Chain A
Amino acid sequence: MEIPVVELAGVKKSFGPVDVLKGIDLKVFAGKVTALVGDNGAGKSTLIKGLSGVQPYDEGEVRFNGELVNIQNPLEASDLGIEVVYQDLALCENLDIVQNMFLGHEVLKTGTLHESEMELQATKALQSLSVRTVKSVRQKVSSLSGGQRQTVAIARSVLREAKLVILDEPTAALGVAQTEQVLNLVRRLADNGVGVIIISHNLGDVFRVADNIAVLYLGRLVAQLEAKDTDNAEVVAYITGLKSTDTSAITVEGAI
């Protein structure tokens, strides 16, 4: 069987007396888009923060490409190849696209910034995602639309050769056409062999792009379903807690 790019087993996290994650088992495969859905407070963000090293888990095992890892801070996550595209994007508006994509990872030559190399690599990363909506790679981010910014943020993870890209609500603030563009981008990212986790409240988007849907309900993973085997109504039932299965059975079912 294929080894998942990320496998969580019995992951727990609590803040004081509040148990936010009560033992999560989750598998994410390379080349697949796994959607993480659930109502507010279900624990989606906490699950993601643990993977990205922002808030390490209290208990449980994390395997990255089969290897047991212990992610304690964002740098370790980044070194493994885990990149997060945050909802608020984390771009510097006063810098251009190339500068943003290489921020913190600048290419140097004789001690100075190697602008042309960075420009070339950024262009290639955008091209690998078939991005055509950007006028110039030297445009300032302040002049970009929401969808274009999302594009830059996603392309940045391509540039870092991420193995796992986590997208937090990438379409939340976008119009119809731009949502379409971003979802295509997410699909292409997975088709390039990257494991993708996408958090979304919009089930329409989820069914458009995801191969696999993991549902969180009050800190438990209540279902991990193949997108083609389920429908909107079933997922909503899991999200709202109307339907539930034994979690141990789900991981088996969710395995591809």
Chain B
Amino acid sequence: MSNQVTSLASGHEGSFGDQVRAYLLRLRGGEMGSLPAIGATLVLAGIFAALSPYFLTDLNFTNLFVQAAELTMLSAALVFVILLGEIDLAAGVTAGVAAAVFIVLIKSGSWPWFPALIAAFATGILVGWVIGMIVAKIGVPSFVVTLAFFLGFQGMQLVLLGEGGVYRVETPEILAIMNSNIPDWGGWLMIVLAAAGTFLFGIWDRARRAGTGLVNRPISILFIKVAAILVLGGGAVLVMNQNRSQGVIPISGVPIVVPISIIVLVIFTLLLDRTKFGRHLYAVGGNPEAARRAGIKVARVRIWAFIICSFLAVASGIFHASRIQSVDGSAGHSIVLNGVAAAVVGGVSLFGGRGRLSHAAIGAIVITMIDNGLGLLQMPAGVNFLITGGVLLLAATLDALARRRSGGSIARS
């Protein structure tokens, strides 16, 4: 065997310019990822900034992130099942039921808040497991199973909370998530840690490749990544650290929900990108039969995907309870479709097998921005729905076209 390892390329070769050209080639081949969504974000921001003097204020910029947090978390949850080509219509109501469990345990059961929170997440895990078992072991389509849960859990919420029951959330730790900010220095620390983490991870990967005797991409690409985090993240922190109060008491700092969301997204992205489970999830989403023949326990992967989905959905439900400072029987009924929309708008393929959590986050920003911007322009709610629907349709069409272009069927040369 030849000891020249590099006679076959791996995509890591070449100068910075070669890498850029290869990237552009992939884009033309239909692997656009979240680029259309990033474009949409910029266009929407431009339009709203031109039409409303409030859109670009420090207050609204910060609000946008807080408003997007629930949707981001729910959309990230849904990515795990959408990657399998499945759907969880019950994600929103699962969050609602878990929030109801949380508040009822505190109010009626006099539980301390932390065990109640654990119970809420355990509820999510249980629901995900049950849905996953029915889908993966019995073979009922996830659309139907989760539709049934969607209907049933609306009733469960009413049963738990009582007809018309509304409970105030009074736990300071929960309220703080959406309503309090980290100190100014905390925001800066967050950005420094993100940049340092990215850099160290990059160096570690390069060392692994070099240790095996493989070529690395030019290190300049890593520097650009780190610089982008410092500039964009730093800019965002700078804005959020301004006093955005309209009253006497100054308000500044990054909302607590932002670092929480980032940490959750990073952990679950690592799960998808760097573990066997993540690889198998993509494989099952791409071709379940191939995965089965490769020895992957397809049913187990499916069940875990539904468990993770419900688990993250509960986080979204807790965010929601924190923001509106109460739990009622209607929580989570309408948000789930926006969650699916956010994932698809962000570039997650409904056909399964393609997409990342960052896509869901960007999609959630787009959907939230439409809501936020039109609200500032005092447009009627109807316009909001029409535009959101239009954006979703556009994104789904792009997805289908990209799939055709990247060879959804076998292309023979």
Chain A residues at the B interface, C-beta cutoff of 8 Å: 74-75, 78, 86, 88-95, 99-100, 103-106, 108-109, 111-117, 119-120, 123-124, 126-128, 131, 134-140, 142-143, 145-146, 149, 173-175, 178
Contact = CB atoms under 8 A, between A and B. Distances in A.
Residue among A75, A78, A115, A146 having the largest count of chain B Cβ atoms under 10 Å: A115
Interface in B198-250: 205, 208-209, 211-214
A123 B215 CA distance: 13
A120 B5 contact: yes
B11 A138 contact: yes
A104 B296 contact: yes
Given A75-B295, A127-B8, A113 B286 contact: no
A178 B364 CA distance: 45
A197 B412 CA distance: 25
Contacts of A131: 8
Nearest to B283: A92
Interface string B249-275: 000000000000000000000000011
B409 to A, nearest CB: 9
Nearest to B213: A120
B285 interface: yes
A219 B219 CA distance: 62
18 contacts: A74-B293, A78-B295, A90-B287, A90-B294, A92-B291, A106-B279, A113-B276, A116-B209, A116-B212, A123-B8, A127-B1, A128-B1, A142-B406, A142-B407, A143-B406, A145-B412, A145-B413, A149-B410
A93 B208 CA distance: 26
Q: Main SS of chain B's interface residues?
A: loop
B354 interface: yes
A158 to B, nearest CB: 11
A46 to B, nearest CB: 18
Contacts of B274: 112-113
Interface residues of B, number: 46
A207 B280 CA distance: 40
Contacts of A174: 412
Contacts of B2: 127
Interface string B1-45: 110011111111000000000000000010100000000000000
Nearest to A104: B294
Contacts of A134: 8
A123 B1 contact: no
Contacts of A139: 11
Given A123-B5, A127-B8, A95 B282 contact: yes
Interface of B: 1-2, 5-12, 29, 31, 205, 208-209, 211-214, 274-276, 279-280, 282-283, 285-287, 289-291, 293-296, 352-354, 406-408, 410-413
Contacts of B285: 94
Contacts of B214: 116, 119-120
Given A119-B212, A140-B31, 7 more contacts: A88-B289, A99-B279, A103-B290, A113-B274, A142-B407, A143-B406, A145-B413
Given A94-B353, A104-B295, A131-B8, A146 B208 contact: no
A143 B407 contact: yes
Given A91-B287, A116-B209, A142-B408, A136 B8 contact: yes
Contacts of A126: 8
Contacts of B31: 140
A136 B209 contact: no
Nearest to B13: A136
Contact of A119 (B10, B354, B408): B10
Contacts of A137: 8-10
A119 B6 CA distance: 11
A77 to B, nearest CB: 11
B84 to A, nearest CB: 12
Contacts of B283: 92, 95, 99, 103
Most chain A Cβ neighbours within 10 Å, of B280, B296, B410 = B410
A131 B354 CA distance: 28
Nearest to A109: B208
A86 B9 CA distance: 27
B10 A123 contact: yes
A116 B211 contact: yes
A114 B208 contact: yes
A103 B291 contact: yes
B402 to A, nearest CB: 11
Contacts of B294: 90, 103-105
Closest 4 CB pairs of A and B: A104-B294, A94-B353, A92-B286, A94-B286
Nearest to A88: B289
B343 to A, nearest CB: 16
Given A75-B295, A105-B295, A116-B211, A138 B282 contact: no
A113 B287 contact: no
Given A108-B276, A119-B214, A90 B293 contact: yes
